[in-house]
Amino acid sequence: MKLPTIEKPTLLLDPSRVQMNIKRMAEKARAQGIRFRPHFKTHQSEQIGEWFREQGVSAITVSSVDMARYFADCGWQDITIAFPVNWRQLEKYWSLAQSVRLGLLVESMESVDWLEKNLSVPVNLWIEVDEGSGRSGVHWDDTNTLLYLAERIRLSSHHQYQGLLTHAGRIYSSSTIGEIENVYTQTVQRLNQARDFLLTNSVERCEVSIGDTPGCSLVFDLGKVDEIRPGNFVFYDAQQLRLGSCQPEDIGVVLACPVVAKYPARGEVVIYGGAIHLSKDTVIDQGKPVYGLVALPGEQGWGAPVPGGYVARLSQEHGVVHLPEPFLSQVSLGDILLVIPAHSCLSVSALGEYYTLDGEIIPAFQG
């Protein structure tokens, strides 16, 4: 690896791992006849987006209007914004809907009526469903409200009703692969129970869209869904390792951090890489919350996490890393440690670009 030029916290990317992750998920969806609409909020990069095109992907998910504009300008023509409609961004919805096939999320009659009144350019409307996570959306068993919204959208003179969309957030509280499989299966069942109610009440067309990396990675048969929208699978991270969604060799991005201090008596080193680079998200490692796992650089990238190595504490720029012997004695001031972030999506948002193993700089969206 070309590490000598790294002088500050830098996202280090292994293209071969990332491309394999994309290929594997695309092939899984294709084999089951399911539309693959990956969530681009994880990588946020035009160049990485092209690796998805190489696998036949033509429809994407994003998390904001500005991110949608970025990828529309990169040539993507079928974009769903997986975030409730924001009334204060009407002009940006107008602009996008005039140039791409735009999907928006609604979860209230107020938003449906507002769009009908203010946005005459056609968009596809998904009803966001709360499958039990309690974040946003209509609760999955509130079938009367779901029917009411679906019927109102179908009467729209501008917009098209697409179906029911959810994110199985409960799955991240799972502690075993079996629990992940159960939550995923239950989520699909809940969405289809709601869909069946709508179909038996004269709603002629209703797709189901579901998205989460653990379920889509681990469940062999994705079930009766029309679309999957995983995002984190492109890189994975320490949280996904804990869940069993991936293996160490699937980790596509690490944070390269210079070592700036060493305290052998404490069994710790301090890295240039803090909360503004890793976020405050944690993963449970050996019963305690940590901010990332630690790997050592090698000639061909990085290997599995160092046993007993983890980011124990963070401040704004500082990261305090616990390293057991003999790994601690191998590290000197000025060396680079590689941190597997607890949550790779947030590190990407913080850093805004990647550095490949060959030294190439890959820019990312900065919104």
Query: Residue 293 belongs to a domain with what CATH number?
Result: 2.40.37.20
Whether residues 34 and 157 fall in one domain: yes
State pTM to two decimals.
Answer: 0.96
pLDDT per residue as tens digits for the range 141-163 = 999 999 999 999 999 999 999 99
Helices 46-53 & 15-31 angle (0-180, nearest 10): 40
CATH of the domain at 21: 3.20.20.10
Whether the per-residue pLDDT at 202 is higher than 70: the answer is yes
127: nearest Cα among 187, 76, 194, 63:
194
Q: Which of 235, 259, 279 is the last residue of a domain?
A: 235
Whether residues 300 and 215 fall in one domain: no
Per-residue pLDDT band at 4 (split at 50, 70, 90)? confident
Whether residues 44 and 189 fall in one domain: yes
Q: Which domain holds residue 211?
A: 15-235
Q: Look at residue 8 and tell me if it is in a domain.
A: no
Whether residues 134 and 268 fall in one domain: no
Whether residues 221 and 136 fall in one domain: yes
* Rounded Cα–Cα distance for residues 291 and 154 (Å): 46
Number of structural domains in the chain: 2
Whether the per-residue pLDDT at 185 is higher than 90: the answer is yes
pLDDT of res. 286:
85
| DSSP conformation class of 39 | B
Whether the per-residue pLDDT at 35 is higher than 70: the answer is yes
Per-residue pLDDT band at 169 (split at 50, 70, 90)? very high
Whether residues 206 and 253 fall in one domain: no
How, if at all, do strands 353-356 and 10-13 pair? parallel
Q: Look at residue 22 and tell me if it is in a domain.
A: yes
Whether the per-residue pLDDT at 348 is higher than 90: the answer is yes
Whether residues 43 and 169 fall in one domain: yes
pLDDT per residue as tens digits for the range 246-293 = 999 999 999 999 999 999 999 999 999 999 999 999 999 888 999 999
Buried b (16+ CB within 10 A) or exposed e, 178-210: ebbbebbebbbebbbebbebbeeeebeebbbbb
Per-residue pLDDT band at 1 (split at 50, 70, 90)? low
Whether residues 202 and 301 fall in one domain: no
Whether residues 219 and 254 fall in one domain: no
pLDDT of res. 300:
82
Whether residues 151 and 47 fall in one domain: yes
Q: Which of 186, 215, 235 is the last residue of a domain?
A: 235
Using the structure block, give the residue that is written with the tokens 């969806």.
29
Whether residues 44 and 148 fall in one domain: yes
Please, what is the average pLDDT of the chain? 96
- Determine whether 107 is exposed, middle or buried from the number of CB atoms within 10 Å of its CB (0-12, 13-18, 19+): buried
Whether residues 184 and 257 fall in one domain: no
Q: Which of 176, 207, 235 is the last residue of a domain?
A: 235
Per-residue pLDDT band at 3 (split at 50, 70, 90)? confident
Beta bridge partners of 139: 130
Helices 109-118 & 143-154 angle (0-180, nearest 10): 10
